[in-house]
Amino acid sequence: MADVPGPLAEFIVGEIRRARTASGQTQESFGKAAGFSASHVSSVENGTRALTMDFVRGADRALNTGGLYERLVVKFGAPSWFQPWLEAEQSADQLRTFQPNLIPGLLQTEDYAHAVVRLDTGLSEAEVEQAVATRMERQAILDRDDPPHLVAVLDEAALHRFADGCDKVLAAQLVHLLRMAERPRVSVHLIPASVGLHLGLSGPFVLARLPEGGWVGHMENQLGGAVVHRTEQVASLLARWESVRNEALPTRQSLDLIKEVVKPWI
């Protein structure tokens, strides 16, 4: 597993060491619970061995934190431009996402997310792992007792677009998409290829309705993304949402189309 980057790793290691000591665990007893040798624990704590996400998760198990350290890595390792959207997404009671080319991040499998993130060759392996961990952690909102209502509209092209030789990853992703669509608060709709040109081809976007009733938008671009707060911009995104939603098939027909695509692989 890739390393946790830079100063963040130093902070997390310090917190793990303090918690281990406070709990009365030796490096050996901590290591047994975390799945690492005492010498491995020692070398991480003294800075001669890199902190990895595997070690972070092991520390969470050994210290019974409920995933605290992994959440800290995910939250504070995320790009600063993405933090406002993470906060909006976490508090939203409704989410509406449109994707013309890919499966939406909240509905991705870990293998699919790895494949997508690795397309950016400018990222180190540690940065890839960080980005994937952030994406997987974000999905926890759908497992809450009172999850937001997620409505996802995808262009049919997203069901077919993948790298050569990775058919099994895409097949598993589509099966996962079908399973997620069975949840009462997840709706998946497809814009079929027969529609041709439509407004959504200009690019992906997401809308979050906050508990107080206002909306916040997020638009992805080649350099990251932008959070949209201004009333007129949010209104424009809501209008675009209505446009793409109107082009999409009803739920049952959409799921039937996904099943038809995945049928040769299962």
Provide the CB-side half-sphere exposure for 72 (13 A, CA): 20
Q: How does the average pLDDT of the chain come out, rounded?
A: 87
How much is the pLDDT for 224?
64
Per-residue pLDDT tens for 31-54? 999 999 999 999 999 988 888 878
pTM (two decimals):
0.72
Q: What is the mean pLDDT of residues 183-201?
A: 90
User: How far is 53 from 260, CA to CA, in rounded Å?
Assistant: 37
CB 66 within 8 A of CB 137: no
pLDDT band of residue 229 (cuts 50, 70, 90) is confident
Please count the other Cβ atoms lying within 10 Å of the Cβ belonging to residue 251: 14
Give the range among 90-94, 129-133, 140-144, 153-157 with minimum mean pLDDT: 129-133
Percent of the chain whose pLDDT exceeds 90: 54
Residues 26, 28: Cα–Cα separation, whole Å: 5
Interval 64-106: pLDDT, tens: 998 888 878 777 766 655 667 777 888 899 999 999 999 999 9
Strands 205-209 and 186-191: unpaired
* pLDDT score at 1: 45
* Percent of the chain whose predicted confidence (pLDDT) is above 70: 92
